[in-house]
Amino acid sequence: MGKKSKHIFYLLTLIAFPLLTEAKTDSPAAKFLGTAAGYTYGGLRDYGISPLYYGGHHITGEAGYYLYKDSILFNIEAGFSHGTVRPSIYPGPDGSKMKSIKAGADINYMRYAGSIGERAKIFAGGIMVSRFGFYEHNNLMNSAKTNYIYSTINAGGKLTREIDAGSGRYMLLVTVDVPVLAFITRPAYSYIKPEGFLNHNTGNIRSFFSSIEISSINRFTGIGTNVEIERKLSNGNTVRLGYSWEFFDHKNSNRLKSALHGITIKKFFSL
C-alpha cells in the first residue's frame, strides 16, 4: 500500500468507525459551557535544542463547549499553558532553562458503542487534536528556539461509569486516543541566535510553513489519556477533577519527544 493510500485508508477507517457503532434511542441533549484550571508537569527531549531531557511545571487554563446525549459525546475545548523547563540531570552552571508556551484545541466526537453492565458505557469515535508549542532556551546559541504546530486526527474510546457514593452522584470517565493521521509544521531550523539568521531571504515564517508534512504513525506517534471523576450538582452544573497524560514523538531530523501530566478542575455550566 502506498503512502498516500495508507493515509486515505486510515482516514476512512477513522470516519467510518463511529458510524458503524451501535445506534441507540437518543435522550435530549445536555449542553454545557466549561472552564478549567490546572497544573501540568512534564517536558521534552528535542534533539534540535539539546540531547538532554528538560522537565518542569506549567499552569494551564481551558474552556470549552460540551454536548452530551446518550448516543453522542461532543465537545470543543481550547487551552493554554505556560511554564519553564530545566535539564533534569544537572542544575545548570549558568541556569539553563527553557520558556515553554503551549496552546491547544480539541474537537471530540464519539458515539455510543456498547455497554458493560447497566451503568458503564463505551463510546468510540474521533478526536481532532491541535497543538502549538514554543520553546526558547536562555543561553544556547543558534539552537535556542523551536516551535511546532500539529493537528492530528485521533481514534479514541471513552468509558463512562455511573457511581453512587454517599449522597452524591458521580461519573467516572476514562478516555484514550491515539493519532492516526498528523499534519505537522515543525521546521528543523526555525531560529538561530545571536549569530543572526540563516534564511536571510526566506524568513522564519516562510521556513516554518514550508516544513508542513502529513504523517501517520511511522513519523508521528502519540497517545492521550484522561481519567476524570464528575460530580453532578443539584443546579444542573457539574464539576470534574481530572488527570491527563499526553505523549508524542515526532521523528524529523531533530527528533522531538514530549510528555505532560496534568491535573485539572473543570466546572461545567448547564445551558
Binding mask 68-87 for other proteins (x = CB under 8 A): -------------------x
What does the per-residue mask of binding to other proteins show for 15-54, with x meaning CB under 8 A? ---------------------------x-xx-x--xxxx-
Q: Phi/psi of residue 88, each to 5°?
A: -85, -20
Q: Which residue, 2 or 117, is less far from other proteins as judged by CB?
A: 117
Using CA atoms in the order 221, 244, 176, 269, what is the torsion angle rounded to 10 degrees? -130
- Which listed residue (27, 37, 261, 265) binds other proteins by CB under 8 A? 261
Instruction: Report d(CA 128, CA 107) in Å as an integer.
Output: 5
Cβ 40 to other proteins, closest distance in Å? 12
Q: Distance from first CA to last CA of the chain, Å, rounded? A: 47
- Closest distance to other proteins from the beta carbon of 176 (Å): 8
Min dist CB 194 to other proteins, Å, is: 7
Distance between CA 243 and CA 173 in Å, rounded?
A: 10
Q: Which of residues 220-259 bind other proteins (CB under 8 A)?
A: 223, 225, 227, 243, 245, 247, 249, 253, 257-259
- Count of residues near other proteins by CB under 8 A: 53
Which residues are CB-contacts of 165 (< 8 A; sequence separation ≥ 6)? none
Cβ contact 166:150 at 8 Å:
no
Looking at the DSSP bridge assignments, the partners of residue 109 are 74, 126
Shortest separation between residue 189's beta carbon and other proteins, angstroms: 6
Interacting positions 145-204 with other proteins (CB under 8 A): 159, 161, 172, 174, 176, 188-189, 192, 194-202
| 159: exposed, middle or buried (Cβ count in 10 Å: 0-12, 13-18, 19+) | middle
> What residue has cell string 540531547?
51
Residue ranges in 94-153 that form contacts with other proteins under rule CB under 8 A: 96, 116-117, 120, 140-144
Please give the Cα distance from 162 to 160 (Å, whole number).
Answer: 7
What is the closest distance, in whole angstroms, from the C-beta atom of residue 255 to other proteins in the complex?
Answer: 10
92: contact with other proteins by CB under 8 A: yes
Q: Rounded to whole angstroms, how far apart are CA atoms 5 and 216? A: 11
Helix ranges (H only) for 117-268 are: 204-209
Q: Which chain residues interact with other proteins by CB under 8 A?
A: 42, 44-45, 47, 50-53, 87-93, 96, 116-117, 120, 140-144, 159, 161, 172, 174, 176, 188-189, 192, 194-202, 223, 225, 227, 243, 245, 247, 249, 253, 257-259, 261
